[in-house]
A and B are shown apart, each in its own frame.
Chain A
């Protein structure tokens, strides 16, 4: 069993208009986890609890083996965090920031910092306030990556970036994983980013985790089955089928527990299976959110 880098057990947090309920998470060393959810799902609250920026009402959180928020000073030495308000000083240059971080963190790697600066096309002598949004994100990422933290936590790192900048950032995140002791947790509503590089995927909606598993299992479990339903035939309710849309003689069944036996069951009921399609993570995400909202309603 691999070492656990992040562990949430039954974590709760209530605000006046929002509640995070019973969040359980495990991220092992050597893996990337993508936290996916619509706006307001609770991704940022989860990350803020992880970083001890907010204290949970109940449940336990462990980061790199340290209990949060009590042991946060010890945990944070090994964590690199980039969020939307990145905490850079607008009036100072990237070089100034690099010098500053290098003095605070003994793990700072100046060669890697220079390499990243070239790869990201950043000018160290330029004040932060003159940078574009993409450059600012890359600068913030450079400052945490060059510390080589065991755990990288990124809140929406690719939001608002152009495709080239997104690509550059995802590449660097993969690079981190060549060291199997390190791990990355990032939130996003770009399912494409998550689909490409994540090992573990956690879907959140309305303050709850609605599904969490390794990516290949996710993609394997979900299927869309296109059916011809002859007149007079009624499709049976089958286990694992979460939605059936019919349009005349055509029907589309969506399942989150696909097994070849499912086709056979429809055939036995008198339907013709035209095609069994795999779904993209984006389609799975939307279907998952809609079906969990249906259950709650």
Chain B
């Protein structure tokens, strides 16, 4: 369950809702806001601290880490998860990496045409 909360927080940082250096809600406040137990949010904060995504300063609260390209590397990480899954499926279906590239490009341009 804490994994879902970690994902939500990464997402907020990746899309820029929470900026580097910005103070984030206390564990209890976020728990009440998203209606999930305090212990789940606490666990998510601990893991994100370990990953260096957020920092907690004793008695002052928790902040998004100052690391500059955090948003970008998180965006990469989120995209990579989906691409890795697509790559796995492609391999199972017998596509070569080159064919996958072509498929991806075709789909990207089609989406743009539709917009």
Contact = CB atoms under 8 A, between A and B. Distances in A.
Contact of A198 (B28, B29, B32, B37): B37
A288 interface: no
B61 to A, nearest CB: 15
B1 A216 contact: yes
Interface residues of B, dominant DSSP: helix
Interface string B65-100: 000000000000000000000000000000000000
Given A215-B1, A216-B2, A178 B36 contact: no
A170 B35 contact: yes
Contact of B39 (A171, A175, A178, A215): A215
A178 B29 CA distance: 7
Interface in B1-48: 1-2, 28-29, 31-32, 35-40, 43
A174 B40 contact: no
A200 B1 CA distance: 14
Contact of B37 (A175, A178, A180, A197): A197
Nearest to A30: B38
Given A215-B1, A216-B43, A219-B1, A199 B32 contact: no
Contacts of A177: 28, 31-32, 38
Interface string A31-72: 110000000000000000000000000000000000000000
Contacts of A214: 39
Contacts of A175: 32
Contacts of A30: 28, 38
A135 interface: no
Contacts of B40: 215-216
B16 to A, nearest CB: 27
Interface in A145-190: 170-171, 174-175, 177-178, 180
A201 to B, nearest CB: 10
Contacts of B29: 178
A96 to B, nearest CB: 32
Contacts of B31: 174, 177
